[in-house]
Each structure stands twice: as structure tokens, then as C-alpha cells.
């Protein structure tokens, strides 16, 4: 039969919960808060679209915004190794919060680690 997509495994509802739990943490994180907008509504909406297609679901991000070009879209923001780590910590905690477990979580998280490291565009500050 038709192979099961990671997107179908998590489902739109839980993916949405994950992204909301994630940005609630970003909004409070001392290393992330300063580089994000105060209102994360639009950011979360785009991230839900992006992760839908990242997990093999419909290409709803690209339909609205064009090719993701994620690295280029992150260029205006100073993404240090410390901030990549902070991003991943927020994601790990969000996964705990919604009770994401098992092989799916492991595979998804490992992929996010690679993408997060790829976004780094500046060294850690020496302060």
C-alpha cells in the first residue's frame, strides 16, 4: 500500500500543538527572544506550514511563500552555535510537553539537529 508519511504519523493537530509549545519556549528564552518578533503568531503559522512539507505533507509553505531557502531566510538573524543549541532545547522540551516519543521523535529530532546546525551563520560571541 501507500507508504505512511511522517506527516500522517504525527498529524496536523499534534504538529500544531508542537509548534505552539515550541514558540511558547522561544518567547521566554533569553538567547532567542531578542532575535524573534514580539508577536510570534505569524512565525508559528509559517513554521506549521513549513514542518507540514518538511514531514512529507502537502507543500503549503511553498504554495504561499515560494521555495523555503531556509538558510537564506535566516541570514538577517545572527544564528550562533549557542542559539542553535537553544533552539533545539526548546524543541526537545516541546516534544516532551506534547508527549512525542519513540522512533518518530528520534528521527524527527535528529533531522532538526542537522537543519539547525546548517542555519548557523555566526560564531558565538566572546562575551
Please, is 126 exposed, middle or buried when counting C-beta atoms within 10 Å of its C-beta (0-12, 13-18, 19+)? exposed
Q: In angstroms, rounded to a whole number, what is the distance separating the alpha carbons of residues 88 and 124?
A: 16
Q: Is 116 in the site for ligand HEM (CB under 6 A)?
A: yes
Q: Is 19 in the site for ligand HEM (CB under 6 A)?
A: no
Q: In angstroms, rounded to a whole number, what is the distance separating the alpha carbons of residues 66 and 55?
A: 17
CB of 4 to ligand HEM, least distance (A): 21
Q: In angstroms, rounded to a whole number, what is the distance separating the alpha carbons of residues 19 and 67?
A: 21
Task: Assess contact for 10 and 55: CB atoms under 8 A.
Answer: yes
Q: Which is nearer to ligand HEM, 73 or 105 (CB)?
A: 73
Residues 39 to 98 in contact with ligand HEM, rule: CB under 6 A: 42-43, 46-47, 50, 65, 70, 73-74, 77, 79, 83-84, 87
Would you give the end-to-end CA distance of the chain in angstroms?
Answer: 56
Q: Which stretch binds ligand HEM (CB under 6 A): 9-17, 92-100, 101-109, 110-118?
A: 110-118
Count of CB atoms situated within 10 Å of the CB of 83: 22
Q: Which stretch binds ligand HEM (CB under 6 A): 2-10, 15-23, 29-37, 102-110?
A: 29-37
Size, binding site for ligand HEM by CB under 6 A? 22
Distance of CA 104 to the CA centre of its chain: 15
Which residues are at the interface with ligand HEM (CB under 6 A)?
A: 32, 35-37, 42-43, 46-47, 50, 65, 70, 73-74, 77, 79, 83-84, 87, 112, 115-116, 119
Amino acid at each position: 500500500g501507500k507508504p505512511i508519511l511522517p506527516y500522517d504519523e504525527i498529524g496536523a493537530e499534534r504538529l500544531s500543538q508542537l509548534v505552539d509549545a515550541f514558540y511558547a519556549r522561544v518567547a521566554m528564552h533569553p538567547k532567542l527572544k531578542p532575535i524573534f518578533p514580539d508577536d510570534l503568531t505569524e512565525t508559528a503559522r509559517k513554521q506549521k506550514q513549513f514542518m507540514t512539507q518538511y514531514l512529507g505533507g502537502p507543500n503549503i509553505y511553498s504554495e504561499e511563500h515560494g521555495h523555503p531557502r531556509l538558510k537564506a531566510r535566516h541570514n538577517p538573524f545572527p544564528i550562533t552555535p549557542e542559539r542553535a543549541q537553544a533552539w533545539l532545547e526548546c524543541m526537545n522540551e516541546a516534544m516532551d510537553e506534547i508527549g512525542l516519543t519513540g522512533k518518530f521523535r528520534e528521527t524527527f529530532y535528529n533531522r532538526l539537529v542537522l537543519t539547525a546546525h546548517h542555519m548557523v551563520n555566526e560564531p558565538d560571541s566572546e562575551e
